[in-house]
């Protein structure tokens, strides 16, 4: 039998809808008026339909797939977009399991008229703090830090702990509450706002306990890993493209620097790293679309997060070096991307954290949990 006669199932490939979504996002991110609050997020949600992609339609239409979300996050990372995409995408994973009448804030988030901030403790971040709830009380107190996308956010989504809450509950706080104080923090990445929330006996707008909370937190962390990995991929691809272009224009000793073997080989290594990360990221997005609750999907997400995060930092560092002295300044575009890549790694624990998580997942799959 020849190879042509074998019925080989097709591998994942982008559809025409994915290509259209990518083209629309690329144009919007390049030309949109970001003078409005949250960097044009309301326009992106309402006019471009991103709100329905993340939160589902008003009449119960399904939200976009994980692949759609990955395309959105990659273009956002490439553009160094500072709007509340990550927090909205994570909250969208909760919204998929809820209905508008159960969580009325979904309608406002869908249109972009309100924005939401998410506590790092709901993602993967080390040293993140949660709110505390007194046993038997509905109110929460304590400090939550860091919180992503805090500027202008009307709502804050965070985990809540107490002596008897295992797994943690999930609470949504209103920043309009007198019992909730928000402080913006100065981070390394100036293009994305971070903050601290302190609350004292604050009444949540929405709270989820028990097994539903466990499922919701798991879904949000899977979505967060995908978005963070894909955003890192977008950073790496954009920085690589710009650096290759620079190497083809910059002349030294009568030749473009890209023609020197040392530079060409280094760019080739970076390109190979980006392609490897791309395969891992979209393979994980495909798995999250097809089998969201499978252990192998968690493994794919951990691999993608480790590879993409490492690649973004490596490519951004290399870009600064390959641009020479000009890119050492904080004002240069390459340095801004380096800040974003390093901030993503610092707040989520970076590739080391994901590799540790990956080892635990493989042990669980192979039945070796008892060794740890």
d(CA 48, CA 6): 42
So what's the pLDDT on residue 372?
Answer: 42
Q: What percent of the chain has pLDDT over 70?
A: 89
Dihedral of the alpha carbons of 9, 11, 17, 19, in degrees to the nearest 10: -150
Q: What share of the chain is helix, strand, coil (3-state, %, to 5)?
A: 55, 15, 30
Of 16-25, 158-167, 221-230, 306-315, least confident by mean pLDDT is: 158-167
Predicted TM-score (pTM) of the model is 0.91
pLDDT-based confidence at residue 221 (cuts at 50, 70, 90): very high
Position 125 pLDDT exceeds 70? no
| Mean local confidence (pLDDT), 332-355 | 93
Residue 56: strand, helix, or coil: coil
Is the distance from CB of 154 to CB of 107 less than 8 angstroms?
no
Q: How far apart are CA 198 and CA 179, in angstroms?
A: 8
Three-state SS for 243?
helix
Using alpha carbons, select from 292, 112, 313 the residue that is nearest to residue 229.
313
Q: What is the pLDDT of residues 74-85, one digit of tens each?
A: 999 999 999 999
Burial of 170 (0-12, 13-18, 19+ CB in 10 A): buried
- The 10s digit of each residue's pLDDT in 311-328 is 999 999 999 999 987 878
Give the span between the Cα atoms of 231 and 74, in whole angstroms.
5
Q: Contact at 8 Å (CB) between 68 and 225? A: no
Other beta carbons within 10 Å of 226: 30
Please state which of the ranges 161-165, 185-189, 260-264 shows the lowest mean pLDDT. 161-165
What distance in Å separates the CA atoms of residue 306 and residue 177, rounded to the nearest whole number? 38
Beta bridge partners of 180: 199
Sequence-distant contacts of 172-181: CB under 8 A, at least 24 apart: 172/103, 172/105, 172/116, 172/204, 172/205, 172/206, 172/207, 173/131, 173/140, 173/197, 173/199, 173/202, 173/204, 173/205, 174/205, 177/202, 177/203, 179/139, 179/203, 180/156
Give dist(CA 28, CA 268) in Å, integer. 30
Please, which pLDDT band fits residue 3 given cuts at 50, 70 and 90? very low
User: Where is pLDDT greater, at 209 or 20?
Assistant: 20
- For the chain, how many residues are written? 372
Q: 3-class DSSP state for residue 126?
A: coil
Ranked by mean pLDDT, the top range of 21-30, 41-50, 99-108, 323-332 is 21-30
**pLDDT averaged over the chain?**
88
Per the listing, tokens 């995408």 go with: 89
Instruction: Give the pLDDT confidence score for residue 371 in this predicted structure.
Output: 47
Cβ contact 145:159 at 8 Å: no
Cβ within 8 Å of residue 31, ≥6 positions away? none
CB neighbour list of residue 241: distance below 8 Å, 6 or more residues apart: none
**CA–CA separation, 355 vs 112, rounded Å?**
35
* Banded pLDDT at 177 (limits 50, 70, 90): very high
Give the whole-angstrom CA distance, residue 139 versus residue 203: 5
Please compute the mean of the pLDDT values over residues 343-371 and round it to a whole number. 87
Which two structure tokens, joined as six digits, stand for 312? 């973004």
């Amino acid at each position: 039998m020849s190879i042509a006669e074998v019925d080989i199932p097709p591998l994942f490939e982008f559809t025409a809808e994915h290509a259209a979504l990518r083209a629309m996002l690329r144009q919007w991110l390049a030309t949109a008026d970001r003078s409005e609050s949250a960097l044009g997020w309301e326009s992106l949600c309402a006019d471009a339909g991103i709100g329905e992609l993340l939160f589902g339609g008003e009449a119960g239409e399904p939200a976009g797939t994980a692949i759609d979300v990955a395309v959105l996050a990659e273009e956002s990372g490439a553009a160094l977009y500072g709007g509340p995409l990550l927090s909205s995408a994570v909250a969208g994973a909760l919204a998929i399991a809820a209905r508008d009448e159960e969580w009325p804030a979904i309608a406002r988030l869908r249109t972009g008229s309100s924005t939401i901030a998410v506590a790092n403790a709901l993602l993967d971040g080390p040293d993140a703090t949660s709110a505390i709830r007194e046993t038997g009380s509905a109110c929460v107190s304590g400090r939550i830090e860091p919180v992503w996308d805090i500027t202008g956010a009307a709502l804050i989504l965070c985990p809540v702990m107490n002596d008897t809450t295992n797994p943690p509950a999930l609470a949504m706080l209103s920043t309009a509450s007198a019992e909730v104080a928000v402080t913006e923090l100065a981070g390394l990445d100036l293009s994305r706002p971070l903050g601290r929330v302190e609350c004292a006996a604050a009444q949540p707008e929405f709270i989820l306990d028990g097994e539903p909370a466990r499922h919701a937190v798991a879904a949000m962390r899977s979505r967060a890993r995908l978005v963070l990995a894909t955003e890192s991929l977008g950073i790496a691809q954009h920085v690589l493209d710009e650096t290759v272009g620079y190497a083809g224009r910059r002349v030294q000793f009568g030749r473009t620097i890209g023609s020197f073997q040392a530079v060409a080989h280094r760019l080739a290594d970076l390109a190979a790293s980006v392609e490897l990360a791309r395969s891992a990221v979209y393979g994980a997005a495909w798995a999250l679309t097809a089998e969201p609750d499978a252990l192998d999907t968690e493994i794919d997400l951990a691999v993608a997060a480790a590879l993409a995060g490492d690649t973004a930092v490596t490519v951004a560092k290399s870009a600064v070096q390959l641009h020479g002295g000009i890119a050492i300044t904080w004002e240069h575009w390459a340095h801004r991307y380096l800040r974003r890549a390093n901030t993503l790694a610092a707040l989520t624990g970076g590739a080391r954290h994901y590799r540790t998580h990956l080892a635990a997942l493989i042990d669980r799959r192979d039945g070796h949990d008892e060794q740890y």
